[in-house]
A = this chain, B = another copy of it.
Amino acid sequence: MTTWGESHGGGVGVVIDGCPPRIPLTESDIQPDLDRRRPGQSRIVTPRKEMDEVRILSGTFDGLTLGTPISMMVQNKDHRPEAYSEMATKFRPSHADYTYHAKYGIRNWQGGGRTSARETIGRVAAGAVAKKILKEFFGVEVLACVETVQDIHASVDPEEFTAEAVESNIVRCPDAARAEMMIERIEEVRAAGDSIGGIILGVAREVPVGWGAPVFDRLEADLAKAMMSLPATKGFEIGSGFGGTRLTGLQHNDPIRSEDGRVFTTSNHSGGVVGGISNGETIFFRVAFKPVATVMHSQKTIDVNLENTELKGRGRHDPCVLPRAVPMVEAMTAMVLADHALRHHAQNNLPPRPE
Contacts and interface: CB of A to CB of B under 8 A. Distances in A.
Contacts of A234: 220, 237-242, 244-245, 271
A275 B17 CA distance: 18
A292 B249 contact: yes
Interface string A12-40: 11010111111000000000000000000
A177 interface: no
A181 to B, nearest CB: 15
A231 B58 CA distance: 19
Contacts of A241: 234-235, 288
A197 B113 contact: no
B253 A288 contact: no
A61 B112 CA distance: 12
B228 A224 contact: yes
B279 A58 contact: no
Contacts of A302: 256-258, 263
B348 A308 contact: no
A258 to B, nearest CB: 4
A306 B274 contact: no
A194 B96 contact: no
Nearest to A217: B229
B348 A342 contact: no
B308 A119 contact: no
Interface stretch (A43-51, A97-105, A163-171, A323-331): A97-105
Count of chain copies: 4
A249 to B, nearest CB: 4
Contacts of A105: 21-22, 348
A282 interface: no
A209 interface: yes
Contacts of A295: 248-250, 253
Contacts of A265: 93
A104 B21 CA distance: 6
A25 to B, nearest CB: 12
Contacts of A237: 234-237, 242, 288
Given A234-B237, A244-B197, A2 B15 contact: yes
Q: Which of A2, A68, A93, A257 has the most CB of B within 10 A?
A: A68
A197 B66 contact: no
Interface in A202-245: 209-212, 214-218, 220-229, 231, 233-242, 244-245
Nearest to A149: B245
Contacts of A159: none
Contacts of A263: 98, 302, 306
A198 B243 CA distance: 9
B58 A5 contact: yes
A214 B119 CA distance: 10
Contact of A93 (B3, B18, B255): B255
A98 to B, nearest CB: 6
Contact of A306 (B10, B55, B255, B261): B261
Interface string A53-83: 0011111010011111111010000000000
A254 B103 CA distance: 19
